[in-house]
Each structure stands twice: as C-alpha cells, then as structure tokens.
Amino acid sequence: MLRSVGQTPVTGSGKDPRAAALGAAVSRLRRELAGNPGRFPDRDIAEDELAALAAMVTGGGPEIARMRCSLLLIAGAIGSVSALGPALMQVRHAVDLFGEVPPGPPAGSPGWPAG
C-alpha cells in the first residue's frame, strides 16, 4: 500500500484512513450523481471513473497518477453541474491525501517503464 511520509493506518483497523476518506467521498459523489436528474453527455465517463476509483480503494494499492487521471476525467465530465460541486471537491481532497505524483516523463516515454 502506498503511504505518504507520516501517514499510517489507523491502529488496530489495518485500514488506511486515506483510503477510507476516498471511499466515502466516491460513494457520496456516486449517490449524488445517480440522484441528479440532469442529462449530460459525459455522465457515463464520470460513472466509469468513479467505479475505477472505488475499485482502487478496495484493491488496496491505489496508484496516485491513475487516481489523478480519474479525478480529471470526472471533473471534466460533471464540471458544469454545479449541484455536484461539493461532492466533487470532497473526492479531490481525498485524492490529495495520497500526495503528489512524482515528477518525471509520462509512463511509456523512452527511458520510463510502461504503465
């Protein structure tokens, strides 16, 4: 499991509190998205990326770069739906708990291992 400096699981539970926060945030946004009657063209993208984030949380080793990519796709897909803004920000803050993506060339670039 990836951990930032100073981040450790809650004693006794074995669950990373960052993963718990991300799971709760993803669940909230999924519920609010499902309950939103508005039609927008990229709704399926947002739902797929939320499912991917949920899978990363339950999988035990979320990849920071992949989480950030999912977050950008979700934000792009639902960014104009202001009613979902607070739940989207909660997901963003939960992803931020995992830290920054290390600098370097994108995966698959020459001299960089493929993703």
pLDDT score at 113: 47
pLDDT score at 22: 95
Average pLDDT of the chain? 81
CA angle 73, 19, 65 (to 5 degrees): 40
pLDDT digits (tens, 9 = 90+) for 61-108: 778 999 999 999 999 999 788 899 999 999 999 999 988 766 665 555
Q: What percent of the chain has pLDDT over 70?
A: 75
Helix axis angle, 64-78 to 43-59, nearest 10°: 150
CA–CA distance, 94 with 21 (Å, rounded to integer): 6
